[in-house]
Structure 1
């Protein structure tokens, strides 16, 4: 077998292996595949008189929601259990605290709205409607924040549809000292029990100190024993920073974010096929749902299973699918942050809670450039007093930094063009010589003569292309600057002059 045949054989074998690998990657079975519903039901054996067990978890695999197990049955031992319930149709609980209006419902002990009164949904709009972090999708599914999820769907429905007994008051001294909360913290407590041993309690502490935090203590108990599989949930989605983003193909699409030991993971709603869960030992430090300028983060204060849940929202319209992810945890103590992604605020929370919420801001691929640009922009704004002026100043500074390189390249490019212009008569003469010769050998000789001409005259025909280098070097900086202008929440609603009332919004007149 000659060398050429051997080469072709090896190439054919290599190509076949590459095709097999590509086929397995794109069309083969996915890891952690979920069995059909019928198989899942067969594999879930009910356990009478036992509370549901913790849902199966995986650190990286995508999985469906655990199959339902048998619901707890009334106690047959004769023990008496207190029955606690609220009045059907009772009024919502409204708490105003430091620029926030938080509304709770006694039905299910859930959160109906979390309005940020100092942030308009559409800056400059006549209605002045504030941002509400609760998404329309969650309302449409009757899956409002603080919804409790269980493996048993019937038990889950009972817990979330029941009317709870509600109390709202100032937190007492012991609660304030144990949680490290400021004086004046408000406490909202929901309690419900069916009288047969099933009890639910949720206690929400609202500090009102401008940090946009809520401390949640909750539990679901069956005859005094916590149901380990119970999880408290936020989502699907949070409200968009701008309602018009649903029709804007270039607008930021929210993500689910998990702070894992391996780093920050961001989950695109369109690329998540099912639920994702982590066991308590590998659970994220925090999980979040974000919009362009706002976020809701769950920060467990004790071990618990962490989950990113996917909902099917096709019935709510195409744009709703971009809000199809929710976050949940089985941890019984959770701190919830719901507010703007402002750097100074997130940095203060990092120090207070011992987390890294500053990672909520996605600085992109050129983050190593975007962060310094943001801090420089913020420093300039403090000096000039206006974000628009700060943007102009930093743009001029960037231009000045690159000016020497740009100037040198332009001079070299112009000099090369002048030399090339002087050589054009000789170049045309060479081309005329070979005009009627179309064979490859003649073309090769023509190119050799032209290169010899350039060499004798000391001209590099490729030198003119070096004029593009300054632009190429500036591209990462320009892209990083674009990222800063896109993600800096401080620019939202910041005016400049004239018709420019919001530096984070596109120019309505395309000036």
Structure 2
């Protein structure tokens, strides 16, 4: 039997080992396997293309955006403080959109983020509104309807536009499109029945994406794909459908009163929003997976019967933009959109992730830097856990002082582990020590650690948010690695063909990660040593392993964890001084003073 004094160290070791194994599998091994599979799939596809004649139905894409835009017919420019682009009069399609407040990279000359892309280009992405109906004389507006611009020249927040189409059989469709200062389009369709018979039609809208993002599969803890919130008008739930699951189940249908649905990326989303008192039929569909791989989110409203010489008006909305917390929350309140804030993938620990983000946002409002806000968050977490941690470190200090007595017991009964355990337990009882007390703060830190990582990963506020010095993006790994001599060489290791992903993944080692590893080593050195030599060696090895693992994590997470280690070290040092327990800091200072003398 193992002595009881090993129990605390065993628990800590198991927790750290579990974090290591899960973290390595989740963030290193799985992405590498997916990259290898994707490379192999592309290689096979390229070989097939080289050896087999092109299929007649194979898509041909243009890389020239101007050609694709011209093929869509006449256009109306879109200009706001947050967006630029155009919509096509052919079908009234919103298919050309850039988010001007965001750049593809941190470089100043980097192009604006593209959201919508016109058909004819690879990965076309657009939104369209229309009507459906059976046996309607003259038909209803469709994907290729030639709308006529009757009011406005450029769509801006202060200048809506009006489009008109007459079907030639007594139905006149008038569409008014407006856009606000952020990312919300409002589409009001008025249908006038000038014929002599009643007609029945239903409003509808679609967000369509051809293909999937090129970096799909790299973000293991993130939802990308179909998303929607559905309910009965009072209670709602949010449904998510990743691209891989979507491909397996080609059609998924939902009935709802109000709600919303669309297609989401990590930071961007296109979502259709009906009137919140209207019943809709929602559908997520994927088709033509061999060629265009078309993904669509569609909603159909209630059918309306329009009597002769009367008209109806249907108003729908389109959100097309960045999933910024305060913007989504503002639309949730002003437009009554249920659970719109959950367009951000807060994860299963949303009850921690959202409050942590709100705390960081609060500190950012005071300090003006998200890196400093993370430091303030860390201090807040440590203050909340201070009473529990204090008791834990007191117990650890007492155990450190008992190490000589525990060694005497082992020497006294070297061949009787059971007798060792009995006497060590009696020693714990006399000294009023709980050997497992030091594990609880560590266990409580694990969900907080995950929530901080999730917050850094999914919130656009963290994207390209600088700290100080070389840390220009808290949501990305530290760019200084051994492969660019810790930032001295002006090149990106990830750009190396074939092995770039491994250089910045498995074998990455950054300045921030090394600093984190040193703080982890010092914190573990201040804890009571494991009596078992094998455990002791494993504990000594763990900071080195975690230094390499954490190098691939966002810089903001390393700042959080390293600062948390520093606060822990300071707290432990004070308590160990109070209990006169030996600690490595005093030992080092004593040796330094002796060497200096």
Mapped contact 2:230–2:254 kept (Cα < 8 A): no
Deviations 1:38-67 (A, max 9, x none): xxxxxxxxxxxxxxxxxxxxxxxxxxxxxx
**Equivalent residue runs for 1:317-396 within 5 Å:** 324-330=295-301, 332-356=314-338, 357-396=340-379
Mapped contact 2:222–2:345 kept (Cα < 8 A): no
Whole-angstrom CA distance in 2 between matches of 1:137 and 1:251: 27
SS in 2 for 1:464: coil
SS in 2 for 1:305: strand
1:351 is displaced (CA, Å) by: 2.9
Structure 1 residue ranges without an equivalent (≥5):
1-86, 172-181, 434-445
Mapped contact 1:117–1:131 kept (Cα < 8 A): yes
* Number of equivalenced pairs: 390
- Change over 3 Å in CA distance of 1:458–1:300 after alignment to 2: closer
* Mapped pair 1:275 → 2:251: yes
> Match for 2:231 among 243, 253, 260?
260
1:350 is displaced (CA, Å) by: 2.6
**Equivalent residue runs for 1:126-275 within 5 Å:** 127-134=109-116, 140=122, 144-146=126-128, 148=130, 159-169=142-152, 184-191=158-165, 193=167, 195=168, 201=173, 203-208=175-180, 210-218=181-189, 227-228=200-201, 231-236=204-209, 244=215, 247=218, 249=220, 252-261=223-232, 262-269=235-242, 270-272=244-246, 273-275=249-251
Deviations 1:408-427 (A, max 9, x none): 31331342354354244544
Return the TM-score normalized by structure 1: 0.64
Structure 2 residue ranges without an equivalent (≥5):
1-69, 303-313, 481-509, 513-597
Whole-angstrom CA distance in 2 between matches of 1:191 and 1:351: 34
285-294 vs 469-478, which moves further: 285-294
- Change over 3 Å in CA distance of 1:501–1:245 after alignment to 2: farther
Mapped contact 1:496–1:502 kept (Cα < 8 A): yes
Return the TM-score normalized by structure 2: 0.56
Mapped contact 1:137–1:236 kept (Cα < 8 A): no
Whole-angstrom CA distance in 2 between matches of 1:328 and 1:140: 25
Deviations 1:143-191 (A, max 9, x none): 7310658598xx99993234333334189xxxxxxxxxx9833114152
- Change over 3 Å in CA distance of 1:187–1:147 after alignment to 2: closer
1:463 is displaced (CA, Å) by: 3.6
Whole-angstrom CA distance in 2 between matches of 1:346 and 1:485: 18
1:452 is displaced (CA, Å) by: 3.5
SS in 2 for 1:355: coil
1:471 is displaced (CA, Å) by: 1.0
* 2:269 aligned residue: 295
* Mapped pair 1:305 → 2:280: yes
Whole-angstrom CA distance in 2 between matches of 1:161 and 1:421: 85
SS in 2 for 1:315: coil
Mapped contact 2:84–2:97 kept (Cα < 8 A): yes
Whole-angstrom CA distance in 2 between matches of 1:366 and 1:309: 26
* Mapped pair 1:398 → 2:357: no
1:478 is displaced (CA, Å) by: 2.3
* 1:454 aligned residue: 424
